[in-house]
Amino acid sequence: MSQLGMLIIVSAPSGTGKNAVIKELMKADENIFYSVSVTTRKPRNKEKNGINYFFETRDEFEKMIINKELIEWDEYVNNYYGTPKKFIEEMTNEGKDVILEITVEGAINVKEMWPEAVMIFLLPPSMNELRKRIICRNTECEDSINQRMLSAEKELDYVNDYEYVVINDDLSYAVNQVEEIIHAERLKTIRNKNIVNKLIRRKK
Ligand code: ADP
Ligand code: 5GP
């Protein structure tokens, strides 16, 4: 196991399949824990407070910003979204890997504070398919769909800031690719200094 848990950042235009990919990934890997974000957006039909998001008012969210309870936050389609600091710190200190599903701006902010964070950009197979997926999910009104599609165009400009890109065409193939990235990242020398140092000490 790594000495400190990894932060795995997954970004993608809304509707690409972040949730779907992460859900499958977590079934396959019990050392990955999901960072539940705080948002001022209203819950969708099946979403539960504390599981999908912590749903808060704008006032509460702004208090969390002032109290420095978030490692990053961003505004997306008229709502605030942010990552609670405490969970990230506790889990990574215990050597557990944490997955963050956040906007491109949020990802760049986390990477500045946490340079060893792993950044993965999920892409839809096409913009037509993206719109279809948002419509099929049946969670957004026409206005929100259009705003999400507009944001998607801008988000794609940030793909070069990410170390990895995975196309979510076939879901299980995409999940496998994300698993492979995580497995390789766990083997990086920088994440295994404890083991290496122990061996070096024994040799002397
Ligand atoms: P995001 O979290 O990126 O907003 P979701 O995970 O909610 O996206 O996925 C949006 C919709 O697309 C959902 O209805 C989901 O079931 C569907 N979806 C996800 N991945 C695929 C895929 N590879 N092929 C077809 N549909 C998919
Ligand atoms: P949705 O409303 O579709 O659940 O999420 C909208 C966007 O907000 C997605 O791009 C999602 O990844 C992003 N998001 C969710 N939680 C956070 C967060 O804590 N911080 C940031 N910066 N973005 C988030």
**Atom 15, ligand 2: which residue's CA is nearest?**
102
Q: Is the pLDDT of residue 1 over 60?
A: no
Whether 188 is in a domain gets the answer: yes
Pairing outcome for strands 32-34 and 97-101: parallel
Average of per-residue pLDDT across 98-113 = 97
CB proximity list for 51: less than 8 A, separation 6 or greater: 36
84: CB partners within 8 A, 6+ apart: 35, 36, 37, 38, 54, 64, 69, 70, 71
More confident residue, 3 or 130: 130
Q: For residue 161, tell me if it sits in a domain.
A: yes
User: Which residues, judged by CB distance below 6 Å to any ligand atom, belong to the binding site of ligand 1?
Assistant: 12, 14-20, 133, 136-137, 168, 171
- The residue-averaged pLDDT of 10-25 equals 97
Q: Considering the domain boundaries, does residue 181 fall inside one?
A: yes
Instruction: Please choose from 19, 134, 139 the residue to mutate so as to test ligand 1's pocket, defined by most ligand atoms within 8 A of CB.
Output: 19
Asked whether residue 168 is domain-assigned, the answer is yes
Q: Which residue's C-alpha comes closest to atom 3 of ligand 2?
A: 14
Say what percent of the chain tops pLDDT 90. 88
Q: What's the rounded Cα separation, in Å, for the pair 10 and 119?
A: 6
Number of domains in the chain: 1
Any atom of ligand 2 within 6 Å of the Cβ of 82: yes
pLDDT at 142: 93
* CA angle, residues 66, 68, 74, in degrees to nearest 5: 80
Residue 112: which pLDDT band, with cuts at 50, 70 and 90?
very high
Q: What is the DSSP string of the chain?
A: --SSPPEEEEE--TTSSHHHHHHHHHHH-TTEEE-PEEE-SPPPTT--BTTTEEE--HHHHHHHHHTT-EEEEEEETTEEEEEEHHHHHHHHHTT-EEEEE--HHHHHHHHHH-TT-EEEEEE-S-HHHHHHHHHHHT-S-HHHHHHHHHHHHHHHTTGGGSSEEEE-SSHHHHHHHHHHHHHHHHT-GGG-HHHHHHHHHHH-
45 lies in a domain? Answer: no
The predicted structure's pLDDT at residue 194: 81
What letter represents residue 32's amino acid?
A: I
Residue 103 Cα to ligand 2 midpoint, Å, equals 5
pLDDT of residue 68: 97
Distance 104 CA to ligand 2 centre (A): 9
Q: Which ligand is nearest to the CA of 171?
A: 1
For residue 148, give the CATH number of its domain. Answer: 3.40.50.300
Instruction: Note whether residue 175 is domain-resident.
Output: yes
User: Tokens 């492979």 sit at which residue?
Assistant: 180
Mean pLDDT across 102-117: 96
Which residue's C-alpha comes closest to atom 2 of ligand 2? 41
pTM: 0.94
| pLDDT tens, residue by residue, 59-81 | 999 999 999 999 999 999 999 99
**What is the reported pLDDT for 188?**
93
In a domain, 107, yes or no: yes
- Is the C-beta atom of 72 inside 6 A of ligand 2? yes
pLDDT for position 143: 94
On the question of pLDDT at 2 being above 70, the answer is no
Atom of ligand 2 nearest to the CA of 107: 22
Span 119-176, pLDDT tens digits: 999 999 999 999 999 999 998 899 999 999 999 999 999 999 999 999 999 999 999 9
Give the residue numbers spanning the domain of 145.
Answer: 7-35+95-203
**85 in any annotated domain:** no
The residue to mutate among 64, 103, 134, 153, having the most atoms of ligand 2 within 8 angstroms of its beta carbon, is 103
Q: What is the pairing mode between strands 37-39 and 53-55?
A: parallel
pLDDT mean over 14-24: 96
